Amino acid sequence: MNSNADEGALQLAATQREAGWAAYRKGAFGEMRDAFSDAVNTCESIPPPVSTAAKRALANSLRGRAVALNKKGDIAAASRDTSQALQLLAEPDLAAAPGIQRLHEMCVTLQGHLRMHEGTPQYDPAAALQHFQLALAIAQADNRSEIDAAPSQHRLVSGSSGSKLDVTSSLSNIGQAELHLGHYAQAESHLRQVIEGSVVPERLCVAHGVLGSVFRQQGRWLQAMEHWQEALRQARMAGEVDAEAALLAKIARYQRRVPELQGQPSVYADLSSALQRLGRTPDAACSICMDEMHLGEGVIILETCLHAYHSECLEQFWRTRGYGGVTTTNCPMCQP
């Protein structure tokens, strides 16, 4: 084994992963996927016997590529990468490595998120709940430990600082899976734990947003709107423009459809502003009917992808294909 060559490969893989995360921050997910693919190839080029550090680098590179693939909508490929990463993390030398719990928790959480895509063969909220519960158990064990998570070698984990793992993130994810399963009381309980226990705007944005959807499923529209508005406030505090735009799109959609919400102030101007800040301008024509389209009444922007359509066109499009009404995940441009 050439230790100098291995060290050089690990450093190169670290640089490639940094390029991947830089692309992530720009929203360039194709570029991100390619950078992490380079990192995977670099790690896999290291000849046997493979060191624990090399296995760890490969696991983290696979996780990064899976995040990119998830963003690109290739859920099957993302699932394969995440499963391979978790297989590596289960190997005895890597499972016992200092600070590995952070990478393990992130991979388990990602595996859970990949089971939350409605309309895909991978959709399985019960399996997602199990993954999120495991992630919570990892975080809770880390918080009970007297040893801080070790900073990552070769910058393996973006943002790793040696702090304890965040329990509230797992609780939010558990609440979201319980929402999909119709376990509304349990979901509300877990999400309120996050709201009461966190001061991080990003965490509070997610928790309030999901709790609003819990109330929506129960027909409690005013309470739903209250939490969506609070999620919007937290998104703005965090500077999360993509989350702000998604929430505004959700609010606009339900204000149009739900009588209880129709007297509330329009959010279309705020939505237009958020889209402009994201560099997103709705198409001038509906891609279904090809007629002219302007942001406002009669236009739906789907919060998951921010693609826009005439509401009547979108509803008819999916009814004729047997999918029922419009949801946030059945965008004609994103789904085959």
pLDDT at position 311 is 87
Q: Are residues 64 and 122 in the same domain?
A: yes
Please report whether residue 153 resides in a domain: no
Q: Are residues 133 and 231 in the same domain?
A: no
* E strands in the chain: 299-301, 308-310
pLDDT at position 149 is 45
> Which of 8-12, 175-179, 271-275, 300-304 is predicted with the least confidence, judged by mean pLDDT?
300-304
Per residue in 53-80, pLDDT (tens digit) is: 999 999 999 999 999 999 888 999 999 9
Q: Are residues 188 and 272 in the same domain?
A: no
Q: Note whether 98 and 309 are within 8 A (CB).
A: no
Give me the domain span that covers residue 30.
1-145
Task: Give this prediction's pTM.
Answer: 0.84
Residue 77, domain CATH = 1.25.40.10
Please report whether residue 82 resides in a domain: yes
Per residue in 274-307, pLDDT (tens digit) is: 988 988 876 678 888 998 888 887 888 888 888 8
> Which of 213-217, 235-239, 304-308 is predicted with the least confidence, judged by mean pLDDT?
304-308
Show which of 200, 217, 239 is a domain's final residue: 239
Q: Are residues 179 and 287 in the same domain?
A: no
Euclidean distance between CA atoms 69 and 56, whole angstroms: 20
pLDDT band at 323 (very low <50, low <70, confident <90, very high): low
Please report whether residue 164 resides in a domain: no
Q: Express as a percent the part of the chain with pLDDT over 70.
A: 90
Euclidean distance between CA atoms 115 and 112, whole angstroms: 5
- Provide the 10 A C-beta neighbour count for residue 78: 27
Average pLDDT over residues 17-44: 95
Q: Are residues 323 and 277 in the same domain?
A: yes
Per residue in 143-176, pLDDT (tens digit) is: 887 554 444 443 444 444 447 788 999 999 999 9
- Let me know how long the chain is: 336
Mean of pLDDT over the chain? 89
pLDDT band at 325 (very low <50, low <70, confident <90, very high): low
Q: Is pLDDT of 222 > 90?
A: yes
Please report whether residue 215 resides in a domain: yes
**Of residues 158, 164, 184, the one with CA closest to residue 24:** 158
Q: Are residues 228 and 277 in the same domain?
A: no
